A and B are shown apart, each in its own frame.
Chain A
Amino acid sequence: GAVVSQHPSWVICKSGTSVKIECRSLDFQATTMFWYRQFPKQSLMLMATSNEGSKATYEQGVEKDKFLINHASLTLSTLTVTSAHPEDSSFYICSAREGGRGELFFGEGSRLTVL
């Protein structure tokens, strides 16, 4: 089946630094990728929809200047958490849809801890 890979799987950084998370579709082209955030013992919250070659669409309440999304190619989307603070510590998951099949495949997730 389709595979979506996320990197890094975990990262620890100091407050004020920026962190980039990559999401790659390994065996299919994804014109659309999605970024989710998950707090402990909670559901996935959609942050933004990443569209190849155009600006991302952010959900209400998500700061686009804080969470920069770039979808430079059909197989890669990146999420950059700028000037990270401890409250940004969370589990970030990306996903990609393969064509029109409707299935949404998820990356392994990236656990961010901001000290």
Chain B
Amino acid sequence: AQKVTQAQTEISVVEKEDVTLDCVYETRDTTYYLFWYKQPPSGELVFLIRRNSFDEQNEISGRYSWNFQKSTSSFNFTITASQVVDSAVYFCALSEAGNQFYFGTGTSLTVIP
């Protein structure tokens, strides 16, 4: 079974629109971490956020915000007022207590000017 599901394979939005990238995870551990990474066309992975399983507070960082809901096992990522530079593939990931890292299949975001 897929540990991390990113149902949206590709999304296109027009610049300045808001966009939400979905992430649903599956784990039996009570202690775990959730992550979002950005992979621009150049290939490197850029760390965006880490959230531990005991902290359900939503987080906002500039135009980025994250909504963590344990009740639905979701960790969604919203970009407000999207920009062309936001175009990239975004990966959601889960790290369990055993240190194994599980990546979702990624969502390719294209922001059209």
Q: CB within 8 Å of B: which residues of A? A: 1, 32, 34, 41-44, 46, 91, 93, 95, 97, 102-109, 111
Contacts and interface: CB of A to CB of B under 8 A. Distances in A.
A91 B108 CA distance: 17
Nearest to A109: B43
Interface of B: 33, 35, 37, 42-45, 47, 50, 52, 91, 93, 95, 99-101, 103-106, 108
Contact of A43 (B50, B91, B95): B91
The SS class assigned to the A binding surface is strand
Contact of A106 (B42, B45, B50, B108): B45
Contact of A102 (B37, B44, B52): B52
Contacts of A106: 37, 44-45, 47
Contact of B105 (A43, A46, A104, A107): A43
A46 B101 contact: yes
B99 A32 contact: yes
A91 B105 contact: no
B95 A104 contact: yes
Nearest to B108: A41
Given A93-B45, A109-B43, A109-B44, A104 B101 contact: yes
A97 B50 contact: no
A43 B99 contact: no
